[in-house]
Amino acid sequence: MALAVAGGERLQGGHDAARERLQMLFEHRGGRQNVHLLDEVFDAFIASNEFKQRRYTASELITCASSWGRPKHLKFEHAGITYLATVDFWEGPEVDFINIRLPNNGFTYAHSGQREEDEIFRHRCGGWVELNGTLLMEFFPNLGKIVGNDFTSIVFYYNYKEQRIDMQLFTDDPSAPGLQLTFEPGYPYVDEQSQRRPLRLPSVWHVEKDWTLVDLLPACSNPACANLAGDSEAGLRLQQCGRCGPWGFRAVFYPA
């Protein structure tokens, strides 16, 4: 009985230490916006994602991504800013994953407090630590509501050096794909704000050698060349360059 009590105290002590570490990472002074920020990013992605005028639900992403064959980049909006999320299917040695890559969008990372020798090397870089995913779910209430019924266990990786988080969610069925959420540095998507302009080709330069038309006019590589007389360079008769050797080409200019 005493051993059981002592074991329970150690377990509770471990949970308290883990909870304290998580509170330090998600509630530290330099990152007061951290508490539910990543959860809000995920919730905004599910609510506003768009791919070719279509929005995917979480269930559709989980069931459809494996058949896409290539990554898809879905536009979504968080805090009034447009971002791109990448959704693809990763076939692992043991478990396959639907991988959704999302921007950190202001999440402030802090050192995990673990010793360097306890860090993990994964994804071709060091600095990874594994945190208590069960306790971490209190910082992801929306994630729990959206996909909590589809998965039963979680692994949570945190990398202060790479500014990245990987959350892996698993089911009890080993043949069913899991869900991996990757939060990493991202940037606003501004391409849609660009103005499309008419495509008008400029005057085309051609080169004619004897009676054969070729694509481009070779340029003299001698920086001392200053033969720029006349209305058009293409109208000049090419001469033998003392450094480059004979060209044997005649320039022809075709106006647009």
State pLDDT tens for residues 115-135: 776 788 888 888 898 888 888
**pTM for this one?**
0.68
Q: Read off the pLDDT of residues 58-68 as tens digits, 9 standing for 90 and up.
A: 999 999 998 99
In a domain, 127, yes or no: yes
Report which DSSP code applies to 238: P
Domain limits for position 205: 201-256
Token readout for 191 is 């391409």
Q: Which residue has the tokens 């391409």?
A: 191
Residue whose entry in the numeric block shows the structure tokens 């209430």: 141
148 vs 236, residue with greater confidence: 148
98 or 19: which leads in pLDDT: 98
pLDDT at 249 over 50: no
Is residue 161 domain-shared with residue 223, that is, in the same domain? Answer: no
Asked whether residue 183 falls in the same domain as residue 157, the answer is yes
CB-neighbour burial class of residue 210 (10 A; exposed 0-12, middle 13-18, buried 19+): exposed
Least confident of 95-99, 181-185, 211-215: 211-215
Beta carbons within 10 angstroms of residue 43's beta carbon: 18
Residue 224 has pLDDT above 70, yes or no: no
Rounded-to-integer distance, Cα 179 and Cα 65, Å: 11
- The gap between the terminal CA atoms of the chain, to the nearest Å, is 94
**Residue 2: pLDDT above 50?**
no
**Strand arrangement of the beta sheet that strand 212-214 belongs to:** 212-214, 204-209, 250-254
Do 91 and 115 lie in one domain? The reply is: yes
